[in-house]
Amino acid sequence: MKGWMRAVSLLSIIAVTVALALGTASGGLGYVLPFPGVRDLAYWFLFTALNPSTPLFTVMSPEAVTSIVWDYRGLDTLFETTVFFLAIIGSMALMRGIEVVKKVEERTYQIGMSPIVKTVTRISVAAILAVAASIALHGHLTPGGGFQGGAAAAVAPLLLIVVFSVYFAVGSHINKKNMLTIRTIGLLGVGLTAFAVLIIGVIHGVGAYVFQNQPKATAPIGLPADLFGSLTSGTLILFNFFEFLAVAAGFTIVFLLLSVPERRVMEILEGGEKDEH
Amino acid sequence: MSIDVNVFLFSLMIYTIIMNIGISLYAIFQRPNIIKKIIALTILGDSANVLAIIVGYRAWPSPNRAPIPPVLTNLHPTGEDIQMFTQVAVDPLPQALVLTAVVIGLAVTVFLVFLALQLYRLYGTLDVRKITKLRG
């Protein structure tokens, strides 16, 4: 009876979906999807993303998405980074006092998976970090950017934790304190880059804006679009690099907190943190 | 009345995603386990993101080439290249907004996972029917 009901409800959902699609495809709404063009705003973004003939409007980045994320709507992304920062701070506040203590025994380096897995991991961790850096630093040229690169780079410490054990990771300086330092450097860098052109403008005595990248009509100053002949798109490469640091370190903190042995957590929760102080 | 197969498949995709959103909402409201609620929440967020990206898609052919990603492959474009690019590239704005939404969704999910973990450690249950009866 139960399985019969479930089959009927599943079939009815599929039938309704196909019927709605048939209705739309036959012009039931007065138009058919998808629309042939894009909106005027999208034309403008695509037209000005990399257009040396309009120097007052262009971002000098061939990647229209990164142009929007870090230039046209840079303030959005700054607050998005803030939300991410606050979520991880909230997680750390929930897990306060809970941390893996570094083991000094020799056995620390013998636990974990088999030597085959460990050797493969040593090679692939280097490759993962290289790919992540490539994703992040080419964010203004190809699909990708600071966040995607950071998320890819955080796989490396996760692999270390799973394959070598969390004690090995803490022993190789991948601990909460160091990651917080890297994360703070990244966030400070994002903040400073947002103010970079304004600071340069104040020094030179010309008008400039927060989150400015290329020269504008009333603020004829900006960061150089290319460096030694290769395109860097002004502030975009700096934003991507610092966001890469912040996101990679933030995810590493999450993985470290989630991999604390459960017995140790219960000891701290029940023992009133006596052994901590 | 003739139905283009490509248009039908595109409409089917959109309605499938909308149904997916509905099913995940059902799971969020109806399932008692918090972990299942969090999984359904991520499905809801991802479905909404895919829907937002599809809003920026443009029909093929438009006018005579398939739509391309909003990335200019020529670093020294002429005016003609840029005109061609604006004629065939998809809308970059939904993609940028989805990038923001993905990060925020991930941050919220991380926080919710930590809340659920702490809840389980302190009270030994993840069933909302039992959690609502807890006192003190």
CATH number at residue B32: 1.10.287
Q: Which residues of B touch A257 (CB under 8 A)?
A: 114
In 10 A of CB B29, how many CB atoms?
9
Ramachandran area for residue B119 (φ above 0: left; ψ -120 to 50: alpha; else beta): alpha
Q: Would residue B29 count as lying in a domain?
A: yes
Contact A26, B3 (CB under 8 A): yes
Contact A141, A231 (CB under 8 A): yes
Mutate to test the interface with B, among A18, A38, A257, A264 (most CBs of B within 10 A): A38
Of A244-248, A261-265, B105-109, least confident by mean pLDDT is A261-265
pLDDT digits (tens, 9 = 90+) for A214-238: 888 887 887 877 788 788 888 888 9
Tokens of A141: 């040229």
* Rounded-to-integer distance, Cα B128 and Cα B136, Å: 16
Inter-chain CB proximity B111 and A87 less than 8 Å: yes
Mean pLDDT in residue range A57-61: 84
pLDDT of residue A155: 93
pLDDT of residue A136: 92
Average pLDDT value for chain A = 85
Number of domains composing chain B: 1
* Rounded-to-integer distance, Cα A70 and Cα A196, Å: 14
Q: Would residue B122 count as lying in a domain?
A: yes
Is B14 at the interface with chain A, CB within 8 A? yes
* Residue linked to tokens 């990060």: B103
Residues of chain B predicted below pLDDT 50: none
Query: Helix or strand or coil: residue B33?
Result: strand
pLDDT digits (tens, 9 = 90+) for A113-167: 888 998 999 999 999 999 999 999 988 888 888 899 999 999 999 999 899 888 8
> How many residues make up chain A in this entry?
277
pLDDT of residue A218: 81
Q: Would residue B73 count as lying in a domain?
A: no
Is A93 at the interface with chain B, CB within 8 A? no
pLDDT of residue A159: 92
pLDDT of residue A99 exceeding 80, the answer is no
Confidence of residue A106 (pLDDT cuts 50, 70, 90): low
Which A-chain residues 237-276 have CB contacts (< 8 A) with chain B? 254, 257-258, 265-266, 269
Q: Would residue B136 count as lying in a domain?
A: no
To the question of pTM greater than 0.90 for the whole model, the response is: no
Which B-chain residues 16-75 have CB contacts (< 8 A) with chain A? 16, 19, 23, 54, 56-59, 62, 69-75
Bridge partners of A63, per DSSP, are B71
Which A-chain residues 108-167 have CB contacts (< 8 A) with chain B? 142-143, 145, 147
pLDDT of residue A276: 46
Q: What beta strand segments (E) does chain A contain?
A: 226-227, 230-231
Let me know if A138 is exposed, middle or buried by CB neighbors in 10 A (0-12, 13-18, 19+): middle
pLDDT of residue A222: 78
Minimal C-alpha gap between B9 and chain A (Å): 8
pLDDT of residue B26: 92
Which residues form the domain of B15? 5-68+79-131
Inter-chain CB proximity A22 and B1 less than 8 Å: no
Mutate to test the interface with A, among B72, B90, B98 (most CBs of A within 10 A): B72
* Residue linked to tokens 């880059």: A193
Bridge partners of A226, per DSSP, are A231
Pick the residue with more confidence: B2 or A61? A61
Which among B15, B73, B89 has the least Cβ separation from residue A20? B15
Q: Would residue B53 count as lying in a domain?
A: yes
Pick the residue with more confidence: A113 or A184? A184
Element housing A274 (H / E): none
Mean pLDDT in residue range A202-222: 83
* Rounded-to-integer distance, Cα B17 and Cα A26, Å: 19
Q: Which residues of A touch B118 (CB under 8 A)?
A: 94-95
Confidence of residue A277 (pLDDT cuts 50, 70, 90): very low
